[in-house]
């Protein structure tokens, strides 16, 4: 029905809170890479976003990733781009867009990691608080 | 209510596409609108017209296409995810179109609720 269907919506002035929930290890499945593509595209829409890492998803941010033995691209430097987008948006008063990078405390601890082991600056948040934040979102997308 | 639906898994391996389809049908029957279904990750395989399940099984690709035709539901397959998996215009099933990830964000902004199906 692509031809006779309005395929664009009027979203002018609409502002929502998005949460992107990264739950899986960076390699072993494509979810981490493809949700990252989603996060990057969303930046153009200037929406509020919480980019959250829980469970094995916390490994996505680990420093020193080496994928040479896997024959896969190491896409972890792209998280720095996310961090830059976040800083740019948060520092620019003309853009009504707040981004947060959040790592669940319990997931981090269970894997013997701390914030210093990660590639980007993060907010470490306890599961209970994160749960409340998730409930307050308009749109939750996961990978 | 206006629903936006995200399908993250292909047909058959997981139930996600079935559940999303059944939700969409139920929503439309109740008088709601499904403004778009966005297919991401392996979900793009729902738009492969070469899918040929056995005759006594449901044909999800076809069912989605029929829903699109009957209720003007916009079925969008993510281009980046699709190309990776060999889903191109030449094998795209009726009712589907290929477009960018921006369509997912736009859908989420326009819909009252965005529902995600698939692990």
Residues of B contacting chain A (CB within 8 angstroms): 6, 8, 35, 40-41, 68-69, 72-76, 80-81, 95-97, 99-110, 114, 116
Q: What ipTM was predicted for this assembly?
A: 0.95
Q: Which two tokens stand for residue B19?
A: 């559940």
What residue ranges do the domains of chain B occupy? Answer: 2-117
Considering CB atoms only, which of B69, B100, B114 is closest to A139? B114
Are the CB atoms for B36 and B99 separated by under 8 Å?
no
Residues A80-96 pLDDT 10s? 999 999 999 999 888 89
Share of chain B above pLDDT 70, in %: 100
Distance CA A89, CA A42 (A): 12
Instruction: Match 């793009």 to its residue by tokens.
Output: B44
Q: Is B113 helix (H, G, I), strand (E, B) or coil?
A: strand
3-state secondary structure B47-66: HECCCCCCCCCCCHHHHHHH
Average pLDDT of the residues in B90-113 = 97
User: Which residues contact residue B81 at a Cβ distance below 8 angstroms, ignoring those fewer than 6 apart?
Assistant: A34, B39, B40, B41, B43, B44
Are the CB atoms for A139 and B5 separated by under 8 Å?
no
For residue A6, the model assigns a pLDDT of 52
Distance CA B87, CA A24 (A): 25
Average pLDDT of the residues in A26-39 = 97
For residue A1, the model assigns a pLDDT of 45
Average pLDDT of the residues in B101-112 = 97
Considering CB atoms only, which of B41, B101, B116 is closest to A31? B41
Q: Which one of the listed residues B37, B44, B63, B78 is annotated catalytic? A: B78
Residues A95-122 pLDDT 10s? 899 999 999 999 999 999 999 999 999 9
**Residue B86: active-site member:** no
Distance CA A30, CA B43 (A): 12
DSSP string, A81-123: HHHHHHHHHHH-TTS---EEEEEEHHHHHHTT--GGGBSS--E
All domains in chain A, ordered by first residue? 17-61+75-142 (3.40.1260.10)
Residues B3-47 pLDDT 10s? 999 999 999 999 999 999 999 999 999 999 999 999 999 999 999
How is chain A split among helix, strand and coil, in percent rounded to 5?
40, 20, 45
User: Which residues contact residue A140 at a Cβ distance below 8 angstroms, ignoring those fewer than 6 apart?
Assistant: A18, A19, A21, A134, B114, B116
User: Which residues contact residue A91 at a Cβ distance below 8 angstroms, ignoring those fewer than 6 apart?
Assistant: none
What DSSP element (H or E) covers B36? strand B33-39
Which CATH number among 3.40.140.10, 1.10.10.10, 3.40.1260.10, 1.10.287.130 corresponds to the domain B2-117? 3.40.1260.10
Q: Which two tokens stand for residue B14?
A: 């997981």
């Amino acid at each position: 029905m692509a031809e006779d269907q309005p395929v664009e919506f009027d979203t002018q002035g609409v502002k929502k809170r998005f949460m992107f929930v990264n739950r899986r290890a960076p390699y072993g499945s494509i979810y981490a890479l493809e949700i990252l593509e989603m996060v990057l595209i969303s930046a153009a829409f200037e929406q509020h976003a919480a980019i959250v890492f829980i469970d094995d998803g916390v490994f996505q941010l680990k420093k020193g990733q080496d994928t040479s033995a896997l024959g896969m691209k190491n896409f972890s430097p792209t998280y720095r781009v996310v961090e830059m987008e976040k800083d740019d948006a948060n520092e620019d008063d003309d853009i009504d867009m707040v981004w947060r990078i959040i790592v669940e405390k319990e997931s981090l601890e269970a894997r013997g990691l701390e914030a210093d082991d990660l590639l980007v600056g993060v907010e470490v948040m306890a599961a209970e608080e994160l749960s409340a934040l998730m409930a307050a979102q308009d749109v939750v997308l996961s990978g | 209510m206006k629903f936006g639906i995200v399908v993250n898994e292909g047909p058959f391996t997981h139930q996600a596409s079935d559940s999303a389809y059944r939700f969409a049908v139920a929503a439309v029957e109740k008088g709601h609108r499904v403004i778009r279904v966005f297919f991401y990750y392996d979900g793009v395989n729902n738009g492969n017209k070469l899918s040929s399940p056995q005759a006594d099984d449901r044909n999800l690709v076809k069912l989605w296409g029929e829903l699109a035709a009957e209720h003007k539901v916009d079925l969008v397959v993510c281009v980046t995810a699709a190309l990776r998996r060999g889903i191109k215009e030449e094998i795209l099933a009726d009712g589907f179109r290929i477009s960018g990830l921006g369509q997912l964000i736009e859908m989420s902004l326009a819909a009252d609720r965005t529902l995600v199906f698939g692990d």
